Amino acid sequence: MALLRIDNLNAGYGPVNVLDNVSLTVDAGEIVAMIGANGAGKTTTLMALSGIVRPRNGSSVVFDGDHIESLPPHEIVRRGLAQSPEGRKIFPRLSVLENLNMGAFTRKDRPGIAADLAKSFAMFPILGERKHQAAGLLSGGQQQMLAIARALMARPKLLMLDEPSLGLAPQIVVQIFEVIRDLNQQGMSVLIVEQNARMALKFAHRGYVLETGRVTMTDAASVLLTDPRVRAAYLGE
């Protein structure tokens, strides 16, 4: 059974519909990439899954066996669906440590939280070095690391990442994708949204192509990487 199963997700802003019957699954242990051009609706999809944008009637989102399409955001996080949002959205005037603690807001198991904090600092040592500094003082790459580590502090079953490579230097991008692969090898399921399609498809098991709010293609990531249409539209070839 899929960990996440989206059927006919419709969502938008006010009178405008952005998502047009998006259907998608993520199995436990998978990395799934969603690629698409500017404004295709990738962020809207993740925000609808997190309950920030309300899915419209007829949408069905089943996560870990439960319908979550009408739950408030905090209930969704509590069930194990966390996201590192586009643009990082760290809390600039909270310390790095406070940001990470906010990631664990729904948890009460203090020893587990302490252990996960130690893991974050092992994964991204710079966050440990700067833990008492205001997060707004971190560089872009460090903020991205913080956003990912913060989402992991919820100890999610499925981690959603929105454009983790945006605006970062190439070697940092590689570092971040390697962390994502390590997490996955430890059992974390990942849904990643990227404009950097080549990178995302290289690391993912399966992929979806989103065009103006509709899923137009889905296949194994290796197949998409060689598909002529994908190569032309998203890999710049």
Partner 1 sequence: MPLFADATDPWLTLLQFTVIGLTKGSLFALIALGYTMVYGIVELINFAHGDLFMLGSFVAFTILGLFGVQSAGDPYADAGFVLLCFAAAIPFCAALNVAVDRVVYRPLRNAPKLAPLVSAIGVSFIFMNVGLFWGGSQDVNFPNLVSDDNLFGETAKIRFTAKDLMVIGVTVPLMVALTVFVKFTSLGTAMRATAQNPTAAKLMGINTETVIATTFAIGGALAGAASVTYGLYINTISYQIGFQNGLYAFTAAVLGGIGNIPGAVLGALIIGLVVSLGSVYVGERWTSALVFAILIVILVFRPSGLLGSRTREKV
Ligand X SMILES: Nc1ncnc2c1ncn2[C@@H]1O[C@H](COP(=O)(O)OP(=O)(O)OP(=O)(O)O)[C@@H](O)[C@H]1O
Contact residues toward partner 1 (CB under 8 A) are 50-52, 72-74, 77-78, 82-83, 85, 89-94, 98, 101-103, 105-106, 150-151, 154
Q: Choosing among partner 1, ligand X, Mg ion, none, which partner's interface includes residue 90 (Cβ < 5 to 8 Å by kind)?
A: partner 1
Residue 36 contacts ligand X per CB under 6 A: yes
Nearer CB in complex with ligand X: 52/123: 52
Q: How far apart are CA 156 and CA 81, in angstroms?
A: 5
CB atoms within 10 A of CB 38: 6
Residue 150 contacts ligand X per CB under 6 A: no
Residue 43 contacts Mg ion per CB under 5 A: yes
Cβ 184 vs Cβ 157: under 8 Å: no
Q: Choosing among ligand X, partner 1, Mg ion, none, which partner's interface includes residue 39 (Cβ < 5 to 8 Å by kind)?
A: ligand X
Q: How far apart are CA 39 and CA 14, in angstroms?
A: 16
From the list 34-42, 59-67, 89-97, 146-154, the region that binds ligand X by CB under 6 A is: 34-42
Q: Choosing among Mg ion, partner 1, ligand X, none, which partner's interface includes residue 158 (Cβ < 5 to 8 Å by kind)?
A: none
Residues in the chain: 237
Among 195, 202, 218, 222, binds ligand X (CB under 6 A): 195
Cβ 197 vs Cβ 234: under 8 Å: yes
Residue 167 contacts ligand X per CB under 6 A: no
Alpha carbon distance, N-terminus to C-terminus of the chain? 37
Q: Choosing among Mg ion, partner 1, ligand X, none, which partner's interface includes residue 68 (Cβ < 5 to 8 Å by kind)?
A: none
Among 27, 75, 86, 211, binds Mg ion (CB under 5 A): 86
Residue 88 contacts ligand X per CB under 6 A: no
For the chain, strand residue ranges (E) read 4-13, 16-26, 31-36, 60-63, 66-67, 81-84, 158-162, 189-194, 206-211, 214-220
In sequence order, the 6+-apart residues with CB closer than 8 A to the CB of 10 are 17, 19, 20, 21, 22, 55, 56, 57, 58, 59
Q: Which residues bind Mg ion (CB under 5 A)?
A: 42-43, 86
